[in-house]
Structure 1
Amino acid sequence: MSKSHLSKHRHISFTAHYTGYIWYQMGISHPAFATKQGRSLAMLINPVESLAEKYVGGSMRTTLKARHTLLDDQLKALIERYPDLQVLEIAAGLSPRGWWFREHYPAIEYRELDLPDMAATKQAALKQIDTNQPDVLSADLFTEDFQNAFHVFDQNRPLVVISEGFINYFDLALLKQLLQSIVKYGEPFQALHYLTDIYPEPVKNKLAKVIWSSSKLLKLMSRSAFTFHFQSPKEVQTFFLDAGFDQVKVLQPQQYLNQYPSHDEIGPNHHEHLGDLVWVIHAELLD
């Protein structure tokens, strides 16, 4: 996609600088992904984050860590299942995931994709680490350019599409378009999985009103349709199934923090909102 056809979604990329720096602060990223813009945003938000962690027990950055860890765990499990796995990370931003997985699982094919400006920023950061890093792909996910990213991969091998901190920025119509595109372009592959996170409505959080107000600020700053679409895991499953996936699991962080007697008691498709600020979704097409 040429810069003369700028995506209306390009303003979302500013959040990539913040999350990239937070991951670096947490020790799970590389200094090359920590930008000056990210550092400034982190310093600006730090007082609010520290107060939230002290008085609420959680914050945006602790949520970032939870979703990143859960997504990584799901991806590692898929690599164990498919040793010849291929991965396409969309809206990759300044996430360290591609770099980390290429380092630790050299047998897999892992490619990243973003809008042109962010793709160029990520490409430059990767080249600082290793000049042999693969090129970052560039496309607007809501145009036909998106299908070209799938042509990079071998259809005789399984493919995982993964995104993080992304799908809440779009209204339901655009979100369904994205999911349907992933299904359409991924259907020819030996297997197709989609891993992503989503922020549900914070209906069970005592600071729900504060979180809603913060989301409105984020919507303004990113010039997007950022919102909370779903109140229950069942609603998420229904939406993803309607978009064409055959199986959908909704994973809630509390399921993995030993706050319940056993995983079997609630299961990955537990239909009650347990109160977490973020969930992880594992959708797939069955053979």
Structure 2
Amino acid sequence: MTQQLSKHRHISFTAHYTGYIWYQMGISHPLLATSKGKSLAFIANPIETWAEKYVGGSMRTTLKERHTMLDDTLKQLIHQCPDLQVLEIAAGLSPRGWWFRKHFSHIDYRELDLPDMAKTKQTALQQIDPSSPQVLSVDLFTEDFKNAFAVFDPQRPLVIISEGLINYFEKDLLQQLLKSIVHYGQNFKALHYLTDIYPEPVKNKLASVIWNSSKLLKVISRSAFSFHFQKPQEIQDFFKIAGFTQVEVLQPHVYFQPQQSAQMNSEEHLGDLVWMIHAKT
């Protein structure tokens, strides 16, 4: 039977770029770093360096922030629920599955992506560890998505995790994805969704530069990349419409500077380029 694919199935070169940046940061395996990613990182380096100096952050700094917040939150959930199950959607060349299976071997951690990327990831993982589970391959915007949930035990809690994904979808498609996660995960003991999101850069002095850069990314990645929200409350309301009952938005200013958090209003945009969301039912 031919796998059903939607017209929204392509996410382009960004998986190669982020995969190599994670390797540069020392948190990934060499087999998850591609030559294409290395070339892209080399080309982007002058722009990234300029952004870090004049914008106050770059793609690679936000990669580190979002990856750290997501990993820390997932570790906390594993300690709270040792029988946790994890599904990383649009996993790309992320080292997260490899790292967590290595350090928390008792959890069931599966990865999912579109056919070509799933095959690439599977080949790399088999070389790293022949016992690595099969990378699942479904389209998030077709009914095939429900098959990914079928491999897990509904008597145990399930975490869905994504990184560098949801800004690539228009709001109606994002709402569809969130509703699908809630619908297919409704019978599990507990359901969590961890993801990063790039808010509108309204607090940044070079917001127009960032906006124009996002338009370029939208074109070259052939996606609908955009900034959808300005305030944490807007995100919380949007996720609750989809069926999530609790939605926490974590901003790096508060997360990485807890001693100063008492002086900050976490309900406002604090100027960070990326936030993390922990939604649950």
The TM-score bracket by the shorter chain reads over 0.9
1:154 maps to 153
* Partner residue, 1:279: 275
Instruction: Note the 1:47-126 alignment, pairs <5 A.
Output: 47-126=46-125
What secondary structure sits across from 1:157 in the alignment?
coil
Q: Distance in 1 between matches of 2:216 and 2:135?
A: 30
CA contact (8 A) 2:199 2:228 kept: yes
Task: Quickly say closer, same or farther: Cα 1:7–1:21, change in 2 above 3 A.
Answer: farther
Sort the Cα spacing of 1:7 and 1:15 in 2 relative to 1 into closer, same or farther, 3 A.
farther
Letter in 1 for 2:60: R
C-alpha displacement of 1:222 = 1.2
The separation in 2 between residues aligned to 1:117 and 1:13, in whole angstroms, is 11
Which position in structure 2 is the counterpart of 1:133?
A: 132
Tell me whether 1:142 sits opposite 2:154 in the alignment. Answer: no
- Aligned partner of 2:219 in structure 1 is 220
Instruction: Name structure 1 gaps, 5 residues minimum.
Output: none
What is aligned with 1:24? 23
Aligned to 1:245: 244
Cα distance, 1:55 vs structure 2: 3.3
How many residue pairs get aligned? The number is 281
Structure 1 residue 259 displacement after superposition:
6.8
In 1, Cα distance between the equivalents of 2:253 and 2:139? Answer: 34
Residues 55 and 204, structure 2, Cα contact 8 Å, conserved in 1: no
| 2:66 and 2:196 in contact (8 A); partners too | yes
CA contact under 8 A between 2:57 and 2:273: conserved in structure 1?
no
The answer to whether structure 1 residue 45 and structure 2 residue 44 are counterparts is: yes
Asked if the contact 1:157/1:189 (under 8 Å) is kept, the reply is yes
Answer yes or no: is the 8 Å Cα contact 1:13–1:93 preserved in 2.
Answer: no
State the partner residue of 2:256: 257
Tell me, what secondary structure is at the counterpart of 1:197? strand
Deviation string 1:126-166 (CA, Å, 9 cap, x unpaired) is: 11101110010000000000000000000000000000000
Match in the other structure for 1:182? 181
Looking at structure 2, the residues matched to 185 and 148 of structure 1 have their Cα atoms a distance apart, in angstroms, of 9
Give 5+ residue unaligned stretches, structure 2: none
Query: Residue by residue, what CA displacement relative to the aligned partner does 1:56-99 show, whole Å, maximum 9, x if unpaired?
Result: 33211011000000000110110011000000000000000000
CA contact under 8 A between 1:248 and 1:282: conserved in structure 2?
yes
The CA deviation at 1:183 is 0.2
The DSSP-based 3-state class of the residue aligned with 1:250 is strand
TM-score (norm 2): 0.96
Instruction: Using the TM superposition, give the Cα deviation of residue 265 of structure 1 relative to its aligned residue in structure 2, in angstroms.
Output: 5.5
Instruction: Give the fraction of aligned pairs with identical amino acids, expressed as a percent.
Output: 72
Preserved CA contact (<8 Å) 1:13 1:118:
no
Q: Write out per-residue CA displacement over residues 201-231 of structure 1, whole angstroms, 9 at most, x where no aligned residue.
A: 0000111111101101110111111100000
Taking the aligned partners of 1:175 and 1:86, their CA distance within structure 2 comes to: 23
Counterpart-to-counterpart distance in 1, 2:264 and 2:55 = 25
CA distance in 1, matches of 2:246, 2:271: 23
State whether residues 157 and 190 of structure 1, in contact with CA within 8 Å, keep that contact through their aligned partners in structure 2: yes
User: How far did residue 2 of structure 1 move?
Assistant: 4.2
Distance 1:179 1:137, change over 3 A: same
The alpha-carbon deviation at position 124 of structure 1 amounts to 0.7
C-alpha separation in 1, matches of 2:259 and 2:218: 35
2: distance between equivalents of 1:119 and 1:22? 20
